[in-house]
Structure 1
Amino acid sequence: MRCHRPFVGATVALFAGLAITSTQAMATPCTNLQSLQLQHTVINSATDNDSGTFVAPGNPPITGLPPFCRIVATLIPTSDSSIKIEVWLPKSGWNGRFLGTGGGGFQGVISYASLANGLKGGFAATNSDLGTGSSGCNPLFCGSNGNMGNPLAIQFGDPAAPSTGLFGHPERIKDFGYRAIHLMTERGKEIVNAFYGQRAQGAYFAGCSTGGQNALMEAQRFPNDYDGILAGAPAFNRTHLHMAGLFSWQNAHASPGRFIQAGQMTLVNQAVLKQCVGRDGGAPSDQFLNDPRDCRFDPKVLLCTGGKVPPACLTSDQVTTMQKYYGGTVDPVNGQLINPGSQRGNETDDLLALGLAFQERLPEPAFDGLFYWVFGPSFGYPSSPVNFSNFDFHHDIKKVDDVLADVLNATSTDLSEFRGHGGKLLMYHGWADPLIPSQSSINYFNALVGNEGRGVQQAGFFPGGGGNPALRQTQSYARLFMVPGMYHCSGGPGPNTFDALTPLMTWVETGTPPETILATKFVADTPPAVQMTRPLCVFPKVPKYNGSGNANNAASFTCVVHDDEFNQTPAPKYGP
């Protein structure tokens, strides 16, 4: 999340505004696009940028850009829609490919870093605010009771006054859920055709988090939009993922004693590593877990005894908080799992990782804006029948799902049409993701296998790794790579920098699927000094230390299959 990594993902907290550049007096192939007529589209500006630099208000300048044509447009598929898109077109050196890019959270802004990375790679690149900017949304907030004077909420952009996000705007919800990216893709391709006088030879999509949800939604709903799709840490099971955020906040705020103090997440993480590092296939010197499913750490071992007091240990109430943190979001009446819990090894006091340390310090749950879309402004007030502090995980789920699930949840496992035209899906997820449980991506991939092999074998158990015909069929068009020690889309103590787009393009264009992807950890997450390298293995394989050799060198690891790992899965009605 902190370092420059082309094509790996989009950070959730990417705040940017539109930069306005003056139109050149003399018409050019770029400025001529100002008059381009496209369905339900207004071209707001078409400008040449030959300066090598782009500046968005409130953000550092983006430098090292090739000359490009910048198109700013608004898409209006319904009377209540206002979808902002940008298309950046290299004026020379175009690689002949179209690249759709995603963003994070509720978006509401253009992800200029994604556009710049695509442009530097030679792509004609496009990005969208998902239509939520018209409701005043930003990546972290799209409905809230205001920042309530909380410094952290203010720092992360929560507006001062209450807001309802997309409440009362069902068409904008559809734009956010699936329509904005699809229309961005259609209009973007038409703009590419008009500028270059030819169609792109290949179309790719790359996104992480909400961008990962966009990616899976494209494969499911609009399978002909892209030839190759890169989906990182996808927020695909969105309604239940946001319920997990509510659950996490309520868990830590159940009583004053349940709150995890500053520094204690690091305390827990150190205890997890002490118990489990090197026993999960990784190297004994690792500062992260290689496969956290092997770790059975119980926070009870940190229970305060004798004269020890917090923050050097955990009270019994804090032990309960951490046990529920790992246990997942559960219906208190029937015990059904609604969303997987956090994996051991993702504990961090880094607020930018958007985990529990961030969540519990806000006046109301992060990302609870989704529920304002259903319940309206009353959701922000504890006196209301349904609000962020008393949301009932047995009775209130159905109302949310009835309104939002069909529009927001990219949970279909039938990708036959996408597969039929030769489409390839490459997924990745950090094992140490504190925001979206890493198990979720495994569950989706296993569900793809289950869909391919109904009646052949239960998804989730892969003897020998290659003996399952349903797995082989799935891996012919969809592959998952788990990333040891990576936080949400980037960052973390593990090897968190990698290029997943190039292997995807090779797969699409030559038919050669990726077996491994080389990941790098830079010193202080800043190139060029390399701290370590490690292979990312095609799931269900994971990297295993060979027992000798430099543990910081990828050559000291071999990809092996773990046959008997436990995969925490939601109840069928909440899955996959």
Structure 2
Amino acid sequence: MTIPAPVMSLPTTGGRVTSASVMTSVVSGQTIEYCLLGADIFPVDPSAPAIKMRAALPHGWNRKAMMFGGGGYNGTIPALTMNVPFGPADQPVPLARRYATFASDSGHQSSAAVPSLDGSFGMNDEALKNFAAGDALKKTHDASLFLIRRAYGKNPSEVYFSGGSTGGREALVVAQRWPQAFDGVISAYPAWNNLSEGLHLGYLAQILSRPGAFPGPAKQTLLYDSVINACDGLDGVKDKVISNPRGCHFDPHVLRCMGGADAGPNCLSDPQIRAVIAMSTPFRWPYRIASGETEYPGFPFLSGADMRTPFLGFGTTAPANPMPVTSGYGLQYWEQWVKYFLTRDPGYNSLDLDARQPGKWLDRISHLSTIQDRNNVDLRPFARAGGKLIMLHGAADELVSHRSTNDYYQRVRGMLGPEPTRAFMRYYLVPGANHANFGTPAFAAGWDSLSALERWAERGQPPRNPIVVDVNHNRTRPLCEYPGWPRYRAGDPDSASSFVCTR
């Protein structure tokens, strides 16, 4: 089937269904029969790659649709049987609820061993805008709704979006740019200020590459354990979770090796202390960029981040040229950005670029900021259209700073006012949760945000006293609206009823 170009509100040269097959899968314990469609959306620039997308159209359709966001640099199509970010294990995923689900690769196909770390598509302007500005989101949305109409003979009654990390940024993009396209949005750990975070990562890459500055895994564990020991009980109970990160004040100098020289795994040298402080301190650049951003707030490594997932944080080896696959995810992300987004020179050494003094690259950085920093906080059009937004972040996120999401939420409240914001938006900070429940977080978050969003968008019932489950440890906590956090009162420390949300 041809997908006509006019059904998409952004420029394309149309599209085509490339495959269609009846699938029978066990999803959330249920046997689901659905039609799986594959399609290409063709670019305007003939040298740009097509957007590859899929849609799962279930028998017994519930008249609703769910679009999934991606991760990192995208480059693959998310599984249409997936759950929403931080979704619970004991509730059916969207397809098992008979949602029509759809997603795309955002306009390029990865060839990397870690698909989400291939930025080579950034050499093409249309592919760059499809990914970074979010153009592929609306094109995929429009093409998918066209196919849903052809399959079922009617439009969905509700269309939702969910995503985390890059997908969380994409969730905010659709609310900002196309306020009438989605009835509700779940945005988890959103990398909304993508370029700003990149500048901070570039600064850290240079610092961590200096001789003796990189703290290896043993020292990362030492730092993590020391922070937990210092701050764990401040919320009233020792449970390996720091519930109030802003109340945790830890000075890494207490771990200083005698004389400041590296003396083994039980202390930090002066260069390592400087590196740790740089990671957890706001990075401010001494120049203007067109997006208006001026800083990135730093990562919460001194407020209880789980240092035992080094791939997302420091990595296990120092940054170098070329960037080792054993360095942190964010540092590899930076290298791809420098090579393909900024300089468009695959041979460029990313450690040669000083994020504090970019020299001849400043104009290009400023231009990219208008594409990558999706920082429009005027969500009034989305609210007027009846849209509802649930935003989530883990307070121990190693890859996208929760402080950045705090900032975005506060900006929205500052523009719209507290009550108008609360009428359509909720933001929850989950203590102990890390990035996407990767590895073995202190608190592996699980909450049925989709049912909460359905009740809010369809029946006007906002979330009320939600409870989040630690899916690894069979314990619960109240899910507190930011800036609230759960303080222990009395009773079973594994029960949410023993805590109260406080400020």
Do both share a fold (TM > 0.5)?
A: yes
- What is the Cα deviation at residue 98 of structure 1? 0.6
List per-residue Cα deviations over 1:131-157 (Å, max 9, x = no partner): 1217879643224xxxxxxxxxxxxxx
List per-residue Cα deviations over 1:56-81 (Å, max 9, x = no partner): xxxxxx98551110000011142324
- The reply on whether 1:348 has 2:304 as its aligned counterpart is no
1:106–1:112: structure 2 CA closer, same or farther, 3 Å change rule?
A: same
- The reply on whether 1:180 has 2:136 as its aligned counterpart is yes
- What is the Cα deviation at residue 540 of structure 1? 2.3
1:533/1:554 contact within 8 Å kept: yes
1:518/1:533 contact within 8 Å kept: yes
Where does structure 2 lack aligned partners over 5 or more consecutive residues?
6-13, 84-92, 324-330
- What is the Cα deviation at residue 477 of structure 1? 1.1
Computed over aligned residues only, the root mean square deviation of the Cα atoms, in angstroms, reads: 2.5
The match for 2:436 among 464, 483, 489 is 489
| Residue in 1 that maps onto 2:10 | none
- The reply on whether 1:221 has 2:177 as its aligned counterpart is yes
- Counterpart of 1:474, as a letter, is T
- Counterpart of 2:386, as a letter, is G
- What is the Cα deviation at residue 51 of structure 1? 5.2
| Residue in 1 that maps onto 2:423 | 476
| Residue in 2 that maps onto 1:121 | 97
List per-residue Cα deviations over 1:407-455 (Å, max 9, x = no partner): 2221001111111111111100000000011101110000001111xxx
1:277–1:134: structure 2 CA closer, same or farther, 3 Å change rule?
A: closer
- Counterpart of 1:97, as a letter, is K
List per-residue Cα deviations over 1:500-519 (Å, max 9, x = no partner): 11111111111111143321
| Residue in 2 that maps onto 1:367 | 333
Residues in 1 aligned to 2:101 and 2:248: alpha-carbon distance in whole angstroms: 41
| Residue in 2 that maps onto 1:511 | 460
| Residue in 2 that maps onto 1:532 | 475
List per-residue Cα deviations over 1:196-237 (Å, max 9, x = no partner): 112111110000001011100000111111000100011110
| Residue in 2 that maps onto 1:98 | 65
1:91–1:482: structure 2 CA closer, same or farther, 3 Å change rule?
A: same
Residues in 1 aligned to 2:157 and 2:208: alpha-carbon distance in whole angstroms: 51
Deviates most, 372-381 or 104-113: 372-381
List per-residue Cα deviations over 1:363-385 (Å, max 9, x = no partner): 42311222223444546434xxx
- Counterpart of 1:266, as a letter, is T
Residues in 2 aligned to 1:51 and 1:341: alpha-carbon distance in whole angstroms: 43
Give matches, 1:279-290, under 5 Å.
279=234, 282-290=235-243
Residues in 2 aligned to 1:487 and 1:416: alpha-carbon distance in whole angstroms: 30
2:67/2:103 contact within 8 Å kept: yes
2:184/2:389 contact within 8 Å kept: yes
- The reply on whether 1:85 has 2:53 as its aligned counterpart is yes
1:134–1:326: structure 2 CA closer, same or farther, 3 Å change rule?
A: closer
Where does structure 1 lack aligned partners over 5 or more consecutive residues?
1-34, 54-61, 144-163, 453-469, 563-576
The match for 1:50 among 24, 31, 35 is 24
- Counterpart of 1:129, as a letter, is D
1:359/1:366 contact within 8 Å kept: no
- The reply on whether 1:41 has 2:5 as its aligned counterpart is no
Residues in 1 aligned to 2:175 and 2:24: alpha-carbon distance in whole angstroms: 35
Give matches, 1:263-282, under 5 Å.
263-279=218-234, 282=235
| Residue in 2 that maps onto 1:320 | 274
- What is the Cα deviation at residue 184 of structure 1? 1.0
1:322–1:190: structure 2 CA closer, same or farther, 3 Å change rule?
A: same
- The reply on whether 1:435 has 2:399 as its aligned counterpart is yes
- What is the Cα deviation at residue 262 of structure 1? 1.8
Return the TM-score normalized by structure 2: 0.86
The match for 1:69 among 19, 31, 35 is 35
1:358–1:235: structure 2 CA closer, same or farther, 3 Å change rule?
A: farther
1:505–1:63: structure 2 CA closer, same or farther, 3 Å change rule?
A: closer
The match for 2:382 among 418, 439, 464 is 418
SS in 2 for 1:258: coil
Residues in 2 aligned to 1:78 and 1:190: alpha-carbon distance in whole angstroms: 20
1:68/1:90 contact within 8 Å kept: yes
1:264/1:312 contact within 8 Å kept: yes
- What is the Cα deviation at residue 128 of structure 1? 0.8
| Residue in 2 that maps onto 1:108 | 75
Residues in 1 aligned to 2:294 and 2:254: alpha-carbon distance in whole angstroms: 25
1:128–1:37: structure 2 CA closer, same or farther, 3 Å change rule?
A: closer
SS in 2 for 1:87: strand
- The reply on whether 1:298 has 2:262 as its aligned counterpart is no
Residues in 2 aligned to 1:98 and 1:395: alpha-carbon distance in whole angstroms: 44
Residues in 2 aligned to 1:63 and 1:289: alpha-carbon distance in whole angstroms: 35
SS in 1 for 2:159: strand
1:109/1:129 contact within 8 Å kept: yes
Structure 1 runs, 4 residues or longer, greater than 6 Å off:
134-137
Deviates most, 407-416 or 107-116: 107-116
| Residue in 1 that maps onto 2:9 | none
| Residue in 2 that maps onto 1:395 | 358
SS in 2 for 1:319: helix
The match for 1:208 among 164, 182, 196 is 164
1:320–1:308: structure 2 CA closer, same or farther, 3 Å change rule?
A: closer
List per-residue Cα deviations over 1:83-106 (Å, max 9, x = no partner): 0110001112x2211101111000
| Residue in 2 that maps onto 1:20 | none
- Counterpart of 1:539, as a letter, is Y
List per-residue Cα deviations over 1:372-406 (Å, max 9, x = no partner): 23444546434xxxx33432323357334333122
- What is the Cα deviation at residue 340 of structure 1? 0.9
| Residue in 1 that maps onto 2:296 | 339
Identity %: 27
2:306/2:442 contact within 8 Å kept: no
SS in 2 for 1:223: coil
Residues in 1 aligned to 2:269 and 2:286: alpha-carbon distance in whole angstroms: 23
- Counterpart of 2:65, as a letter, is F
The match for 2:194 among 238, 256, 259 is 238
- What is the Cα deviation at residue 292 of structure 1? 0.8
- What is the Cα deviation at residue 314 of structure 1? 0.8
Residues in 2 aligned to 1:106 and 1:206: alpha-carbon distance in whole angstroms: 17
Residues in 2 aligned to 1:97 and 1:333: alpha-carbon distance in whole angstroms: 46
Residues in 2 aligned to 1:417 and 1:448: alpha-carbon distance in whole angstroms: 13
SS in 1 for 2:446: coil
List per-residue Cα deviations over 1:103-122 (Å, max 9, x = no partner): 10001001116557431232
| Residue in 1 that maps onto 2:88 | none
SS in 1 for 2:414: helix
1:291–1:65: structure 2 CA closer, same or farther, 3 Å change rule?
A: farther
List per-residue Cα deviations over 1:308-353 (Å, max 9, x = no partner): 932111111111111111113233799x96211112211413234x
SS in 2 for 1:100: strand
Return the TM-score normalized by structure 1: 0.76
2:466/2:479 contact within 8 Å kept: yes
1:495/1:534 contact within 8 Å kept: no
- Counterpart of 2:304, as a letter, is G
2:176/2:379 contact within 8 Å kept: yes
The match for 2:470 among 511, 515, 521 is 521
- Counterpart of 2:474, as a letter, is Q
